[in-house]
Amino acid sequence: MTTPLACSPIHIVEDDDAVRQALVFLIESWGGTVVAHRSAEDYLAANASLSSSQTPACLLLDLHLGGQNGAELLEQLYRGHYPSPVIILTAHADGDLAERALRAGAHQVIEKPFRSNDLITAISDILESSSTP
């Protein structure tokens, strides 16, 4: 049986190297494929060259990035009709940026630190719901 994570790549935008590496390890250990990005700008550059068949299954997005913040990136993506569900990861889930991200179209906000199973469940639920007609 394949897990919901065994689909198109899950993209991560996280500026903290240790957190980004831990997220990659976690998702890959659950059978997922990951493409990790250090900044919003790195993600936008990579996203511009993706074909429609390479669209991320899900985007995990940190809010507090160096340069453009996660809420600004999300607003920019959804202005262009971004097709992938987005989960926000933040240490400040009750802050203005988290509210702004939800208004922009984020599917869920998960507060750091979080339990690994909670993140995997959130990703799986989103992937299962987006694959059902």
Q: Where are the domains of the chain?
A: 22-31+56-133
Q: Rounded to whole angstroms, how far apart are CA atoms 123 and 33?
A: 13
Query: By the 8 A CB rule, do 59 and 85 touch?
Result: yes
pLDDT tens, position by position, 6-25: 677 999 999 999 999 999 99
The tokens for 56 are 């991320």
E strand or H helix at 37, and its extent?
strand 34-37
* 53 contact partners, CB below 8 Å, separation of at least 6: none
pLDDT band at 47 (very low <50, low <70, confident <90, very high): confident
pLDDT score recorded for residue 97: 86
pLDDT over 80 at 72, yes or no: yes
One CATH from 3.30.530.20, 3.30.930.10, 3.40.50.2300, 3.10.105.10 for 22-31+56-133: 3.40.50.2300
What is the CB neighbour count within 10 angstroms for residue 51?
6
pLDDT tens, position by position, 74-132: 999 988 888 899 999 998 888 888 899 999 999 999 999 999 999 999 999 998 887 65
pLDDT over 70 at 53, yes or no: no
Q: Which residues pair with 90 in a beta bridge?
A: 111
pTM beyond 0.75: the answer is yes
pLDDT over 60 at 38, yes or no: yes
pLDDT score recorded for residue 92: 83
Q: Which residues pair with 58 in a beta bridge?
A: 10
pLDDT over 60 at 1, yes or no: no
